[in-house]
Amino acid sequence: MFRVSPLKRVFIQVWKQGHGSQCCLGVAGPRKIHCCSVLGAKDLSSKQNNIRCVIFDMGGVILPNPLGVFQEFEVSNNLPEGTLLNVIKDGGDKGAWASLEKGTLTSSEFVEHFGQECSDKIIESAVVKCRKPDPRIYEMCLKQLRMRPQQAVFLDDIGTNLKSAKELGIETIKVTSPDQAVQDLEKFLGLSLQGYLKGTISVPERLRFSRENLAAYLTESLNLTHPGTLPHIRLFKHGMSNPTFYLKFGDKELVLRKKPPGKLLPSAHAVDREFRVMKAMEEQRVPVPPMLGMCSDTSVLGTEFYVMGLVPGVLYLDPLLPNKSDHERHSIYTAMIDALCKIHSVDIGKADLDSFGKKDNYMKRNFSRWMKQYENSKTEEIPAMNEIIRWISENLPEKGTTTVVHGDFRLDNIIYSDKSDDVLAVIDWELSTLGDPLSDLATCCFMYYVPSRFPILPGLSDVALTQYGIPTIDQILAQYCSTRNIPPIENWNFYVIYTFFRFAAILQGVYKRATIGKQGIILYSGVLMLVSLFSFFTPVRYF
């Protein structure tokens, strides 16, 4: 019956970032206060170092008055003032509004269910026989939260309610608009509460940068003018080698990808190369996000970065594609291979990428790179790894074609339309170069050779593919060769074994850098599982 205001979404964000703590808010009608804390003391980075819980009034803060919603709708749709109220009156007891009110939930039940969904503590005036601004209701709230007044901040749109709370020692915020309230709350909590997007988190302290500098760059260099506006910034969970950020700047939704801070290897995290190849792919009509600008001036945000447009869509992290039909799964896999063929069919000269990488001995150079990385990150001798290194060095292809290669082409680096099976964008070009296209294809097909229980990257080797509508590996290879008009691949198993080795080397390197604990155990178990699978892909079996 009510449209939820932007502050309700903010409230949910506070709750999600609460590390298991509690929060507090109140509702209109039967007066209630709902409570939940925001941060544990050790995690608190707010300006008010003692703030550990937030208290919201509901009416006028979380839920707007429905009359205001009616008025907004009438204005936005050029309807005469009072149109909706007249419709409700004319409908009477049998009208749509009355029917809604006679549904499975009464308004009070709705309020209660909503409060329970969002809150840990509820204080109802009708139950405790006390209402704001009586200081006793705040004392009851603090008692249930087990908090002192100095550890709480209270939001309300009525000054008398705030005054009595402040007299108890509770910090207060007068709500005049959703934007103002959220901005004030951000100052208290030290959290980014605006611009929420699924799959993102608040930016950790170590990755934060100047919003003012970023706003100046967006305005002056990219001509994205939003006077007096600072961008809202959040960090994507996916793609952490080069930190990737979601930006909401006025009505623009953007993505910023930058070098991480700290001391880096000279050739590592080359975001300028990423921007160059993605811009070239965009001009060659390969599906990538719209590329907007590259900034090499490290004084702006501390490291080099580039900005691209946000591509709304879906990332599929599970190769089984749950909740999809057999036909949809088949179409998604087919579209994936079509996108890869587009990349490999780009004319290097026309794309102005002749200098993007060396054009000969790619597999030999790539193997040497990963072998050295593995040796440098090795924590113990693994005989199977030593054997596979020897075998690969003896079976490197003597020749091969050269194309643009993505370097990490996988299902979870593709953004699909949420309304169809179309590929909207291929992302994460950090490892792109000029090289052997079959290495890309093997990376893409790696999931076919590892089981669904495989750590980090679940696979399909123990799945009955035909029962899910997923193409078999033979069908994938046939589609690739047919689309690119090349003969069948004679030494496919070399590329499979090489890809196993490369992923094991990557996991070994990450494991060595990881803090010993659960994450390290998971990563190392991935290395050991790959090694055990090496014994299955032996030269005796395939060659």
| In CATH, 200-309 is 3.30.200.20 | yes
User: What's the pLDDT at 45?
Assistant: 42
Cα dihedral sign for 390, 394, 395, 401?
positive
Q: Is 164 helix (H, G, I), strand (E, B) or coil?
A: helix
Q: What is the pTM of this model?
A: 0.69
Give the model confidence (pLDDT) of 29-76 as tens digits.
Answer: 333 444 543 333 334 344 445 777 777 776 566 655 566 666 765 665
Fold classification of 135-189 (topology level) = Rossmann fold (3.40.50)
In whole angstroms, what is the distance from residue 456 CA to residue 452 CA?
10
State the Cα–Cα distance between residues 449 and 77, nearest whole angstrom.
55
For tokens 């178990």, what's the residue?
525
Task: Output the pLDDT for position 52.
Answer: 75
User: Cα angle at 383 between 377 and 387, to 5 degrees?
Assistant: 95
Please tell me the predicted confidence (pLDDT) of residue 104. 54
Please tell me the predicted confidence (pLDDT) of residue 15.
44
Q: Give residue 126's pLDDT.
A: 76
User: Higher model confidence: residue 42 or residue 282?
Assistant: 282
Mean of pLDDT values over 448-454:
87
Q: Where are the domains of the chain?
A: 135-189, 200-309, 315-537
Q: What is the mean pLDDT of residues 520-535?
A: 49
Residue 378: pLDDT band (50, 70, 90) is confident
SS (H, E, C) 294-340: EECCHHHHCCCEEEEECCCCEECCCCCCCCCCHHHHHHHHHHHHHHH
The predicted pLDDT at position 229 comes to 79
C-alpha dist (Å) from residue 266 to 259, 262, 270: 12, 12, 9
Lowest mean pLDDT among 99-108, 223-232, 333-342: 99-108
For 315-537, CATH number?
3.90.1200.10
Q: CA–CA separation, 24 vs 12, rounded Å?
A: 11
Half-sphere exposure of 292 (CA within 13 A, CB side): 22
pLDDT(390) > 50: yes
- Rg of the chain on CA atoms, in Å: 28
Provide the sign of the torsion angle of the four alpha carbons 61, 66, 67, 71, taken in this order. Answer: positive
Residue pLDDT, tens place only, 131-166? 889 999 999 888 888 889 998 999 898 899 999 999
